[in-house]
Structure 1
C-alpha cells in the first residue's frame, strides 16, 4: 500500500507541475488576446528636416524671369547670357592681346596672318558677333578641320555662309587672339592665388549670375557632373571613361530636375586645386 501511495503522490506531483505549466501558458495567451487587433507596432522614421520640409508648401513663382517679349528675336534671348557689355569686354581684351602680341614680335614673317590683321584693323563688336556665330555653326556643321569650312574645291562640300561672314585668314587671326581677360592681371602659376580657370572664370561667373536672374527653378533640383569634350593641354582636363567624350573639362552642375535647366555650375579644377576633403566623396 505504501508503494502504491508513493506512486500516487509522484503521479499527483507530476500532474500538478503539468497543470502549472499549462495554466501559465494559458495566462500568457490571455494577455496577448487583450492586445487590440488594430494595434500597429510599425511606424515611419524620418529625419527632422524631412518633416520640416513636408510641412512647408512650395509657393515660389518658378519659370522664366525678366525675359524679352514673346515676339522678340532669337538674338535677344541669346544676349541674355553673353550680354552686350560682356561682348564689348571681349572685343577690348582681344584687341589688347593682339596689340601686345604684335608689339612683342621683333620680326613678322612675310606670309604671317598678322599682315591681314594690320590690313583689316582691330576687331569690332559686329565682327565678334559674327565670330561667335561661326563657332556655334561649326558645332552644328561638322568638318574635319577649320580650313574645310572655306574649301571651294568640291562643290558638294562647299559652305558659302562661312565665306560670307569671314575670310579664312581673318577668322583664324581672331581665333588666335581671342581673349576675355587681361593677362597682366592674372597671378603667376607659382602664386598661391593662381587658378587654372582664371582665363575664363569671369564668363562662368557671368553665366551663374544671368542664370539666376532670368529663371527661377522648381522645387526639385539635382546635382550632377558634366563633361565638356576637350583634349587641350591643361591641368583641368579629366579622363572619365563612363562619358561619351571621355576627355574634357568636368563641371559640377546644379540643374532643375524637371527641365534640366542649368541653374549654377562650377568647374572642377583638378585634384591639386580642388582637393577632396578626407572622408568625403568628390563633389560633396
Structure 2
C-alpha cells in the first residue's frame, strides 16, 4: 500500500535522516603540498593513460576494425537468424608480415589471418565475425578455455542469449563447462568433444563397436560415444543439451543434429570461393578489407534471396554483376549527361607531356621548390596546364587546369540535347 501524502505546516520538528554523509570530502591520495603543478597534472594524465591509448589504437587490426564493427552492426540490423547457428573459424590466406599471422596445417592456405565466425546453419548468413589478433594482444583467460570465451563473446555481441538458440560447434569450442554456462543463459549446445576434455570415464574410454552408441546424462547435458559402422576406426564423442538418446534410421539423433547444422560457416566459405575476390597485396589490411567486402556481398545476396518477389530469382553471379553496375551508375550517368566530373577525377586522367620549343626550360612543378632553394629545371610540360613536369614526376603531378564556366555550361546543354 502506498504511503499517503500529509499536509505540513511550519515550523516542522527536526527529522532523523536515514542516510548519513561521510564528511571526508576533498583531495585524497595526493602528493606533498610542495610538489610542482606538473605533478598534479600527472596524477590524471600519466603513463597509464598513454599505455591504454596505445593499447587500444596500436593494434594489428587498427586499419580495418572500424569497417568490421560497422558491417557487424549492419548484419544484425537486417536479419534475424533461425534457431540453429554454428560457430567456427575461417582463415584468410596471406603470408604478409603481421602479428595476426596464424599457421593452421589443416586449412588450404595454411598461413593467414584467423576470424571467429557465427553464422546461420541453413543459409550461411554471417551474423557476427571478429578477428583473432594472436596471444600477445588477446591472451586466453586464466582457467578458461579459449573456445568457451569465443562462443560466449560472439553470442553476447549478437544478442542471441536468453532466446532459446541452438549453437553447434566443433571440438575446439565445445566442452561441458560451456554447455552448462549456456544452459544458464537459455541457450542450447551441440558439438564434438576432444579426448582431453572433462567428460565421464565411460564416454572417454567407451568400448563401442561399429554402429554402437553409448550415452550418459547429467541433468540436461547428454554425452555420447559413437563409432561409424562403415569406417569407424575411432569413436566420436559428442555433447548436446537439446538432443535425446534416440536412434532413427541407423544413426543417433545427436549425430544427425551435428551433421545437419554444423556447416554454416563452411557453406559461407564455399560460396565465397566460387566468385573469389582475392588479390595479391603487400598490405595485409587491404586483403582483410577485400574479405570483409566479400562477406557483405554474400550476406546481401542471402537477404535478397529470402525477401525478393522476383521469379525466377537471380543467380548469385547475376546479382554480383548488378551490384557492380549499380556502383558504376553514377559514373556512367555523368558521362552520358555531360556533367563535368570533379577536379580530383580530372587529375586522375592520363597526363600527356610535350617538349618545350627550342632550348627553353621551366621549373618542374613537382620536385622544384624555390622557397626552399630547390630549383630543378625540365624541358617538358603538361599539355593541359602548360606547367613544367619531368617525365619521372608525371605520376605525382596535379593538373591545375580550370575550365571556363560558360564553356562547361554550354557543353552540358549540348550533351543533354543529344541524349
TM-score category (smaller protein): 0.3 to 0.5
TM-score, structure 2 normalization: 0.22
Q: In proportion to residue count, which structure has more strand?
A: 2
RCO comparison, higher one (Cα < 8 Å, 6+): 1
TM-score, structure 1 normalization: 0.32
Q: In proportion to residue count, which structure has more helix?
A: 1
